[in-house]
Structure formats: structure tokens, C-alpha cells
Amino acid sequence: MHNLQSIKQRFGIIGRSPLLDRALGTAIRVSPTDLTVLIIGESGVGKEVFSKIIHALSPRKHNQFIAINCGAIPEGTINSELFGHEKGSFTGAMTERKGYFETYNGGTIFLDEIGEMPLDTQAFLLRVLESGEYIRVGSSKVMSTDVRIIAATNANLPNLVKKGKFREDLYYRLNTVPINVPSLRERREDILLLFRKFALDFAEKYRTEAVELDDQARILLNNYKWPGNIRELRNVAEQLSVLAEERSVSAEDLIKLIPGISDRHLPMIPEKDKGTSGDFQERELLYKLLFDMKADLNDLKSLVFELIKTNDLRVSEDHQLPRLDMPSIPATDARFPAEHSAPPSFQNEERTPVSPDFEREDYRPILLDNKAQIAYESMELVDENLSLEENEKELIKKALKKHQGRRKEAAEDLGISERTLYRKIKQYDLQ
């Protein structure tokens, strides 16, 4: 078994992320075999480097290796490029031509962006994977090849299969050994190590002193989303090496040179969806708040009735409490069945029996008449904040605190989508 650290040094791989080490370990273990490998990862994470590692550690290392970008070859010529063609097989075919599967027989072919391969070419590739056989364009002679296929994609192939844009049988044939290469935001512990390596490389290239970052600039670099991954980080290091006036780069200098680096990347509602799904999600949160308030009110009502039942209570003659009647619903109301006296949403509520005195038109406030009861200390009445916005904000804070900042779980607890929670966090400036 090859040593992981020696492989990193040999191929110039920088990083100590466990996800990176796991992907490298899989590549090293599968190298001695002829199994088909599917490398999965976002654009710019270094999928081609993994294909070269697999070839270099395989028994085919002394034979040829070629990397082919399936998305860069026109649909009309890709079959000819891969499998070759006969003279006169199509307009412009002045001579016969060997394809990559014939030229690199015995070696390794890396098919990058396999998700962009045309469907008819996918059928030909499946036959090569199944039997090692193919036919040149314009020929009827079956030819054979012995190549190892390593494929890579930044697309979601199962989704392409569902849409009919990728063959399901080919997907399972390619996915014999999947290797998931982590994105740069999934290995943030490696960002500064990679930046330092790139800065030193460009300092040597441009014969200048290597740029360095202050503490705030490092934080800014670590918190950036890096949609372009390692390729984007390398470009940033090169820009700073060439354009920075001082070799010590501050956060302000970083923002001036790369304005988008300080942008927040929370999901936002598209303009076309505003006023529809956004309003619905907001109402969803407000309904949740109102339902919680209703539950609290029901608990308070149960507590009052329990006090009436378990204590010696009587009505005071000093003050009169105005009666609060709930609007009644006629039994013949067409909105509800005649056998119901309340809306369906209240059908399952437990009904607590009420004392006859409590139903009187001029009932009085209830006072405890228990001589053994301790005297309550005077309390200051504080007006309750009834602002929906403030209550909504507090509810989000409590959910985030409860789940220790895990937004997905907090959103599920609040009964809203994660996208709505992100928008609310930004709206209320919650960190």
C-alpha cells in the first residue's frame, strides 16, 4: 500500500482534510485493479489529478494516458474522435482515422464531464465497457480494445437519468467505484495552506516577494464560499501576487481587488417568486407563532379551572370584571354540519366543566379564600410585546439556540423551509 503522505508529495497535493484523505485512499486502493471509476466533484476541485494518480499507480502506468473533455467535442464528431472513422464515411472524411480507443489501447482514458456525452455515444461507450468491442464510424468491422475508463462529472447523474439525458445502465456501469472529491468549502482547514503554496509559486514565477495575509484577511478568505474551488483560489493568489501594492494584504485590500469575496451567499428568493412562495412561507411562520400562542392560552385556561376546582374560591364584591363572550355559531350555519356547535378545528379540544357562578352575566373576579395561603409579593405589571416581527425574531433565536446553530434542524422545528429561515436570518441580522 502506498503511503498517503508520499502520494501527496509526489503529485503536489496540499491538504490535511479527512474528506480529502478518504478520497485519496479510495483512489490508491482501486489503482491496481481494472475497475471503472467515477470521480464526482464540483468544477475546479482537481478531478483530473485523481485520474492521473490512479493511472500512475496502476499496472498500465507504462502505457499512454489521455484526458478527454466530453463537453468540448462537438456532438457530430465525438464518435469519430473516440472510435475512429473510415474514409468517405461522412463529408470531409478524406482518409481513415484511428479513434482514442484504438490509439490508447492498453492505457487509460479519462472522460471528463461524462454527463455531457450524447446519448448515441453513450450506447457505444456502454458496449466498450461491457465487451471491449466497438465499430468505427462508417465501418461494419467489429474491433476490440483494452483500455481502462475513468469518468468524471460535476453534474448529478441520477437527475440526468430521471430526465432521460443519461442512460441508466451506463450510469451503473460507470459507478463501479465512486470517488467523491470534496469541494474547497468542505475542507476549509486547507484554504490557507493552498493559498500559501500558490503565493510562493507565483512569487517564484514573477520574481517577487510572496504576499501574506493579515488576520482579518485570513478570516475573510476562510469564510468565502469558493464556488470555483481550488481553481478560483489559485486565481485569487495570482491576482494578489501581481496587483497588490504591499506584500502584506489586509481585508480592505482583499475586498478592493476582489469585491465579491465579502458577499454573503445565503439563498435568496428569485424576483419572480416574490409575493407568492415568499409570502406563503412568511405566513407559515406566523401561523406557527399564533398556534403556539393559542396553546399557551389553553394551558392558562386549564390552570384557572384547576384553581377553581381545587381551592375554596369565592367572588369579590369590590370589583366587576367585564364579561368576555365568544361569538356563538348557529346550529343551522351552512359552513358546519348541524351536529357541530363549533368549527371542525375545535372539535377535538377538551371541554372543561364551568361552575354555574362563572356563567352568570355579572360574574366577579375570582379571589383565593384560603387562610393558609401565603401572601403573594407585589408584582409589577409589564406590558407584553405583541409585535409579530419581534415574536418571530425571538422564536427564530430560540430555535437556533436549541439546535446549536444547525439551521436545517431549526427550520424543521419551526415548521418552515430552510430557504425561508436563511432569508429571515438575513432580514433580522441574526448571526
Q: What's the rounded mean pLDDT across residues 325-333?
A: 45
Place of cell 480494445: 145
Residue 87 contacts residue 96 (beta carbons within 8 Å):
yes
- Separation between Cα atoms, residue 408 and residue 401, nearest integer Å: 13
- Separation between Cα atoms, residue 116 and residue 198, nearest integer Å: 31
Nearest to 111 by CA among 144, 157, 76: 157
* Extents of the domains making up the chain: 4-182, 186-262, 268-322+348-431
CATH of 186-262, one of 3.40.50.1000, 1.10.8.60, 1.10.150.110, 3.40.50.2300: 1.10.8.60
Across the strands, what pairs with 142? 135
Please check the confidence at residue 281 and state whether its pLDDT lies above 70: no
Please check the confidence at residue 266 and state whether its pLDDT lies above 70: no
Q: What's the rounded mean pLDDT across residues 211-226?
A: 91
The rounded Cα 361 to chain-centroid distance in angstroms is: 60
C-alpha cell at position 87: 474514409
- Separation between Cα atoms, residue 111 and residue 168, nearest integer Å: 17
Please check the confidence at residue 8 and state whether its pLDDT lies above 50: yes
> pLDDT by residue (tens digit) across 133-191?
999 998 889 999 999 999 999 999 999 999 999 999 999 999 999 999 999 999 999 99
The CATH architecture to which 4-182 belongs is 3-Layer(aba) Sandwich (3.40)
- Separation between Cα atoms, residue 266 and residue 281, nearest integer Å: 16
Q: What's the rounded mean pLDDT across residues 260-273?
A: 55
- Separation between Cα atoms, residue 369 and residue 367, nearest integer Å: 6
- What pLDDT does residue 256 have? 83
> pLDDT by residue (tens digit) across 119-132?
999 999 999 999 99
The backbone torsions φ and ψ at residue 263, rounded to the nearest 5 degrees and listed phi first, read -70, 145
What letter does residue 312 receive in the DSSP assignment? Answer: -
Rounded to whole angstroms, what are the CA distances from 215 to 25, 192, 249, 252? 33, 11, 10, 12
- What pLDDT does residue 312 have? 62
Q: Greater confidence, 372 or 403?
A: 403
pLDDT category, 313, cuts 50, 70, 90?
low
